[in-house]
Amino acid sequence: MKLQAPVTSALPLRARNRVESSSREPEPEARPGGLRLIVALLLLAAPLVVAAWGLGNYAGQRERNNADNWLAGILSSGAAGGAYHRAVADTANAANRLAHHRRVQLHFLRGTSRTLVWKATPEGRVTHWFAAVPREAVVKTVNVVSKGRTVGQVVVFLPLDGALVQRLTQAAHVSGRQQLALATGGSLAGAAGTQRIDSGARTLGPSPSDIRAGGVGYRAVSADLGRAAGDTKLVALESSSTIDAKASSAEWRVIGLGIGLVAALLALAYAVSPSIARTRVSKEERERSERVLAHVGDGVFLVDRDGVIRLWNAAAEAITGLRSDAICDRPAEQTIPGWGAILARVPVARRPGDVDDASSAETVPLEVDGREIWLSIVGVRLADGTVYAFRDVTRERRLEELRSQFVATISHELRTPLASLHGAAMTLLEREHDLSGQTQHDLLDMIAVQSKRLANLVEEILLAGQLDSGSLRVVMEPFDPEELVWTAAAAARLRVGDDTTIDVSIPAVLPKVAGDPERTRQVLTNLVDNAIKYSPTGGRIRLGLEVDDGHARFTVRDEGLGIPLGEQKRIFEKFYRLDPDHRRGVGGSGLGLYICRELVRSMNGRIWVDSDPGEGATFTFELPIAERVAATA
């Protein structure tokens, strides 16, 4: 009989589609909605724009710092200061030279004038000067002495004007937007002329500062020229507007580049957003399918076109005991026992739902490590192989076998009493007046015995049904176990011949036992009947009762056929019989020990068997003690 295996329907639709075609991409997700996409892009762009703005400000500040460094570098090189000091030295030399000149001395000796003034150029040349000496100049005075007395003075001055500044600019190789100037007396003398310093004169020093001269703002760095220069300072400066323009240009260049990159990234993100969405959906689908396959109760595995196993889920591993890491990426023929025979029997559909009918799932045996399991399996063909889904039906098949055995057993058990009843009834009916009174009595006794046998069989079947459904009512109350054992022994003695002896072993003092006395009597009677049944040659049957560790232990020991070790756990299963083919002449429905086990369990007890084949068996069950009784002396 084939068993259905609705394994394909156990998988969710998306998981089945994923298994059906691993090469097919999931359906792409629609492009994100406008508002949602705008918010996402703004959230992405905001920190990037802030970063670009910060980098732009940094670039602008760096440009300003570079301008300050250039100005300080002009003065720190010493070229302009050296040129200034050389010009001053040339002026002093010119004054000394003129003071010792013969014509100059004769001029003073004649008494024409007491002072002669010359104007020196930055190149060291001198010319007569007949006007007042300007305030913005370096003045060198030399006294002319004749015969121990001063006859006159030679004055040579170096104007602090544009010519000197131009000379210093050339010496320092200053070009471009930077320029040099001389600051003295609140004025700023440069190559283009002299300007009044409007503000910032007091801040002039070695550190960069802002000044304003002639209505124009400058960034300036100054250096002292020594004591000979007085308060005159050499100034390196650059127009503030020029520096700001360069800084602003650098700042916006970086900001523009950053914003351009941000725009490019946003455009790229917008362009690839559908692909990202599809990738995310594909990943979620794959993860969901993997979770489904990992937790689905049916075994699922994929065999490619070359017969190699590519997928083996957790349920397949649990059902078969074949580990995934030992079976994946290996040929199915080598890893699955009997795969060739299984492959020939398993139906394969072109897609889920194409199988002709629900009964097309095939039930096949699989032997793994010495144990036989039955699988209900079906396959679905894919583009790159075949996916198989199966479920374990070993229990159902064993149950089906037990049911078949039960039907055969019940049929046999019913056939004998029914034949006896029918024969006795027909004899009485047809030959009632020809039979003696004793014969009629024997036939009626046969009818009663066989009727009782049928009634007991029906009662066992009904009781098993009540135990399965949980509708059987069990009363828990204290009862006297001694009386129950003696009663069961007395009833058994009436059913045995002279070749069988029934003995009882009971302690002198016994406590009350908690349980259902009627159900306990039924268990004990059933065990005694089994002992009689499986002792066909007679012998001694001993009923015992012991008290140990809070439990009363009932035992029934026989000297009969015994039970094989491998069968001792199975004899308590429903419908199971040691002699299913009646080779030993031992009948029974296969429900007696199952009923005993369930009744004992319902009274919070347990039952077991100890046996060696050919040496009899000892059945033991224990129930809890209701009260303790002290032993008397």
**226: DSSP letter:** -
The token duo for 139 is 């003045």
Is the pLDDT at 413 greater than 70, yes or no?
no
pLDDT grade for 613, boundaries at 50, 70 and 90? confident
Q: What are the tens digits of pLDDT across the range 114-141?
A: 888 999 998 888 998 888 888 888 888 9
Residue range 616-625: mean pLDDT, rounded: 94
pLDDT grade for 71, boundaries at 50, 70 and 90? confident
Nearest 5 degrees, angle CA 490-CA 494-CA 497?
125
Q: What are the tens digits of pLDDT across the range 377-402?
A: 888 888 888 888 888 888 888 777 76
pLDDT at 444: 84
The overall average pLDDT reported for the chain is 81
Q: What are the tens digits of pLDDT across the range 177-231?
A: 888 888 887 788 887 778 888 887 777 888 888 888 888 888 899 888 877 667 7
Core vs surface per residue 554-584: b (16+ CB within 10 A) or e = bbbbbbbbbbeeeeeeebbebbbbbbbeeee
Higher pLDDT, 407 or 84: 84
Q: What are the tens digits of pLDDT across the range 454-487?
A: 777 777 777 777 777 778 888 899 999 999 999 9
Sketch out the chain's domains with CATH numbers.
Answer: 82-162 (no CATH), 297-392 (3.30.450.20), 404-466 (1.10.287.130), 473-624 (3.30.565.10)
Residue range 146-167: mean pLDDT, rounded: 86
How many CB atoms are closer than 10 A to CB 87? 21
Q: Considering only CA atoms, which of 213, 167, 178, 217 is closest in space to residue 194? A: 213
DSSP 580-622: TT-TTS----S-HHHHHHHHHHHTT-EEEEEE-TTS-EEEEEE
CB 284 within 8 A of CB 303: no
Is the pLDDT at 102 greater than 90, yes or no?
no
Residue range 532-550: mean pLDDT, rounded: 90
Most confident listed range (35-39, 186-190, 563-567, 622-626): 622-626
pLDDT at 614: 81
pLDDT at 45: 75
Rounded-to-integer distance, Cα 340 and Cα 364, Å: 12
How many CB atoms are closer than 10 A to CB 545? 20
pLDDT at 581: 53
CB 156 within 8 A of CB 126: yes
Q: Considering only CA atoms, which of 26, 301, 71 is closest in space to residue 209? A: 71
pLDDT grade for 5, boundaries at 50, 70 and 90? very low
pLDDT at 31: 45
pLDDT at 265: 79
Residue carrying structure tokens 């000197």: 164
The pTM assigned to this predicted structure is 0.44
pLDDT at 295: 74
CA 530, 536, 542, 546: dihedral to nearest 10 degrees? -30
pLDDT grade for 46, boundaries at 50, 70 and 90? confident
Is the pLDDT at 288 greater than 60, yes or no?
yes
Is the pLDDT at 172 greater than 50, yes or no?
yes
pLDDT grade for 584, boundaries at 50, 70 and 90? low
Q: What are phi and psi of 225, to 5 degrees?
A: -105, 10
pLDDT grade for 621, boundaries at 50, 70 and 90? very high
**355: DSSP letter:** S
Rounded-to-integer distance, Cα 293 and Cα 70, Å: 72
pLDDT at 631: 41
pLDDT at 12: 42
**238: DSSP letter:** E
Is the pLDDT at 321 greater than 50, yes or no?
yes
Residue carrying structure tokens 């009540």: 466
CA 122, 124, 125, 126: dihedral to nearest 10 degrees? 90
pLDDT at 409: 67
Residue range 583-604: mean pLDDT, rounded: 79
CB 10 within 8 A of CB 389: yes
Is the pLDDT at 299 greater than 80, yes or no?
yes
CB 19 within 8 A of CB 313: no
pLDDT exceeding 70 applies to what percent of the chain? 87
Q: Report in angstroms the alpha-carbon separations of 22 from 16, 208, 285, 317, 392.
A: 10, 71, 11, 21, 26
